[in-house]
């Protein structure tokens, strides 16, 4: 979908059409932009940008809070339209999905005609525009879908993937962020075509297994199937401090709260997580992530201990703007060797669902770890 949150707001409020609309944090706050209309983008406003910078770039913009319930309702309508054309729909988020059209020609005609029909249906039924990429695999289709927004359609015929990708910047390759892009630039690689010219063995020596994956994607090779399952791949929580935090104790207490919140959601989904990831963003917006993989767990204390180990390794000495914890490597909740974690692990595993039921009945904070209780002067 094109500038989804902002486009929904412009659809529902005709007075906003043609005006720069920015959906996200409060203009006076410390959060980020969730979506920017195309009018706002002409001023340089982009999603994930600090809201304070957006205000400086576009002070005349209309700033609106995120209304996730509304966006989710519209998303449900759009996904229902997609499923009328194929049962193989893999949502990536509320406003994006992969659709496998293989075998639908007898019903809807050639894939290109089908994609045009889908775009027409979405616009007719929701009043919103969508951009699409049509290709032989997920990676190339995703790249294509981003190239002619808004209301675009880019078709990449099978066999032309490498030539299609060659002139594009290397950042278009999945997994190439700022750090990896800088490393590739140091090798003289700025475009995907230049990446194609590097032997896979060289990339693998430089970047490990990820290097071989980069080589495959550079030529547009991606054999992953469209997976209609919508199971969560990770569960997380994060906080942006109102004032950059220098207090190690406050940082730890915030991390502990996140661990309990993530653990509760794991139990609700009957899942356990093998991988814990710590996210830190400093006052200058530098962001780092560190991960640990161990036995699957849904225990808040164990999640916290693993995240705290990662935090302690960083020896944080700078003000922290944001801290987050996420759990991935998800599997059935009964996995894991609970007795091996610590003597209280089995007891906590049994206690967790009881706490969840009390929280659901009486509200957040009904029961919580003693370390999260308000501190009183003169007491530990």
Catalytic residues: 96
Rounded distance between C-alpha atoms, residue 39 and residue 53, angstroms: 16
Are 273 and 306 in contact, with CB atoms under 8 Å apart? no
Contacts of 247 (CB under 8 A, 6+ apart): none
What region does 103 belong to: left with phi over 0, alpha with psi -120 to 50, or beta? left
Contacts of 110 (CB under 8 A, 6+ apart): none
Burial class of residue 15 (count of CB atoms within 10 Å of its CB; 0-12, 13-18, 19+)? exposed
* DSSP per-residue codes, 118-150: HHHHHHHHHS----EEE-SSHHHHHHHHTTT-S
Structure token pair of residue 301: 């204390």
- Among 322, 340, 333, smallest CA distance to 284 is for 322
Contacts of 100 (CB under 8 A, 6+ apart): 86, 88, 89, 225, 226
Rounded distance between C-alpha atoms, residue 160 and residue 220, angstroms: 9
Q: Which helix (H) or strand (E) holds 330?
A: strand 320-332
Q: Which helix (H) or strand (E) holds 273?
A: strand 271-282
């Amino acid at each position: 979908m094109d500038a989804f949150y902002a486009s929904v707001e412009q659809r529902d409020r005709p007075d906003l059409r043609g005006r720069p609309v920015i959906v996200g944090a409060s203009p006076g706050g410390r959060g980020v932009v969730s979506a920017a209309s195309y009018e706002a983008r002409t001023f340089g406003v982009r999603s994930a940008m600090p809201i304070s910078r957006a205000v400086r770039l576009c002070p005349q913009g209309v700033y609106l809070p995120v209304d996730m319930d509304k966006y989710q309702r519209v998303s449900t309508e759009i996904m229902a339209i997609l499923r009328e054309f194929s049962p193989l729909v893999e949502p990536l988020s509320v406003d994006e999905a992969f659709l496998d059209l293989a075998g639908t020609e007898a019903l809807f005609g050639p894939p290109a005609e089908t994609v045009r029909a889908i775009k027409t249906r979405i616009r007719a039924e929701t009043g919103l525009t969508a951009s699409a990429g049509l290709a032989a695999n997920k990676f190339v289709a995703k790249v294509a879908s981003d190239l002619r927004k808004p209301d675009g359609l880019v078709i990449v015929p099978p066999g032309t993937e490498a030539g299609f990708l060659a002139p594009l910047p290397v950042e278009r390759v999945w997994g190439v962020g700022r750090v990896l892009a800088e490393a590739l630039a140091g090798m003289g690689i700025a475009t995907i075509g230049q990446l194609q010219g590097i032997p896979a063995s060289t990339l693998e020596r430089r970047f490990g297994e990820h290097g071989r994956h980069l080589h495959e994607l550079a030529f547009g090779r991606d054999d992953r199937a469209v997976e209609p399952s919508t199971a969560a791949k990770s569960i997380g929580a994060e906080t942006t401090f109102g004032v950059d935090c220098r207090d190690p104790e406050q940082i730890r207490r915030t991390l502990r709260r996140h661990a309990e919140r993530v653990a509760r959601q794991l139990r609700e989904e009957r899942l356990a997580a093998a991988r814990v990831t710590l996210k830190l963003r400093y006052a200058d917006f530098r962001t780092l992530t560190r991960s640990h993989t161990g036995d699957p767990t849904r225990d808040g204390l164990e999640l916290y201990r693993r995240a705290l180990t990662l935090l302690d390794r960083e020896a944080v000495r700078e003000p922290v703007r944001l801290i987050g914890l996420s759990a991935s490597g998800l599997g059935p909740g009964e996995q894991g060797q609970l007795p091996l974690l610590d003597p209280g692990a089995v007891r906590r595993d049994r206690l967790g669902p009881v706490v969840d039921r009390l929280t659901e009945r009486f509200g957040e904070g009904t029961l919580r770890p003693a370390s999260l209780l308000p501190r009183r002067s003169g007491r530990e």
